[in-house]
Chains A and B, each alone.
Chain A
Amino acid sequence: AQSVTQPDIHITVSEGASLELRCNYSYGATPYLFWYVQSPGQGLQLLLKYFSGDTLVQGIKGFEAEFKRSQSSFNLRKPSVHWSDAAEYFCAVGAPFSGGYNKLIFGAGTRLAVHP
C-alpha cells in the first residue's frame, strides 16, 4: 500500500526567499504524485501533478516540483515566496491502475507562514 510523509509540519520563510517543501512516498512502482494547496477556510486546489515523463513539473502560482525516483521524493519549490503563499500544502500519492479505484493518499500537510 502506498503512503506519503511530509516531514515538516510548520515552515516559516521571509517574503522573497526561496521555498522547498519536502514529500517522501512509499510505493513499489512509479506513482501518480500531486501537490495541493489549501488557503484558510477553503478547499484544496491542485498546484501540480506528475504522472510520467519529465521529472520536473511546473504548476500554477510559480511552483514547481521534481520527482526523484532514487529518493522516493517529490519536493515542491518556489524561487521567491509571496505573502499570499501562506497556506497549508498537501502532498498526495495515487497508485496508477492498481486494480482498485485509485484512491489518493494524502500527507499530514505542511503549514507555511510568510514573514514580511
Chain B
Amino acid sequence: DVKVTQSSRYLVKRTGEKVFLECVQDMDHENMFWYRQDPGLGLRLIYFSYDVKMKEKGDIPEGYSVSREKKERFSLILESASTNQTSMYLCASRVGLAGGPRTGELFFGEGSRLTVL
C-alpha cells in the first residue's frame, strides 16, 4: 500500500517562527502536493512538485515555500508564521501524468494540524 507520512500530527508555534512541515512517500511517486484544509473552504492547493527540485505555485502560495531535494520528500516551509496560517495541512502524492489509469488519484497523509499563537 502507498504510504504518505507527515512528520508531525500536531504543532503549536508562535507568531514569527519558522515552521517546517515534512512529508515522505514510499511509492516512488513523481508528483507531490501540499494542501491547506479549512472548515467550509475544502482543500486549497498551496504548492505542488512534479519532480525533484521542480515546483509550481498552487492557488494560495503566499507566505509559504517548499523544498524537494529528494523524490520521496516534500517539505512545506512557513518563513514567518502568522495566526492566519493556523490550519490543517495535508500532503499528497501520485504517479506522474504518464502513469496510465491511476493518473490523477491522490494519496494523502494523515495531516498536520498547526496552531500559531
Q: Which of A32, A49, A97, A106 is the most central at the interface, judged by chain B CB atoms within 10 Å of its CB?
A: A106
Interface size class of A (residues with CB under 8 A): 20 to 34
In the complex the two chains form, is B42's CB within 8 Å of A106's CB? yes
B residues at A contact (CB < 8 Å): 4, 31, 35, 40-45, 48, 50, 56, 58, 90, 92, 97, 101, 103-111
0 or 1 for each of A44-55: is its CB under 8 Å from B? (1 = yes): 111001010000
A52-98, CB < 8 A from B? 90, 94, 96-97
A101–B92 alpha-carbon span in the complex (Å)? 14
For A46, list chain B residues within 8 Å (CB). Answer: 105-107
A101 to B, closest residue via Cβ: B50
B109 to A, closest residue via Cβ: A43
Q: Which of A34, A103, A107 is the most central at the interface, judged by chain B CB atoms within 10 Å of its CB?
A: A103
A42–B97 alpha-carbon span in the complex (Å)? 27
In the complex the two chains form, is B101's CB within 8 Å of A51's CB? yes
Apart from A9-B40, A45-B108, A101-B97, 17 more pairs, CB < 8 Å? A6-B42, A32-B104, A42-B110, A43-B108, A43-B109, A44-B43, A44-B92, A46-B106, A51-B101, A90-B42, A97-B97, A101-B56, A102-B97, A103-B48, A104-B106, A106-B35, A109-B42
Q: A42-B111, A43-B109 are in contact. Are A51 and B104 (CB under 8 A)?
A: yes
Which one, B45, B104, B108, contacts A44 given CB within 8 A?
B108
A residues at B contact (CB < 8 Å): 6, 9, 32, 34, 36, 41-46, 49, 51, 90, 94, 96-97, 101-104, 106-109
A90–B63 alpha-carbon span in the complex (Å)? 26
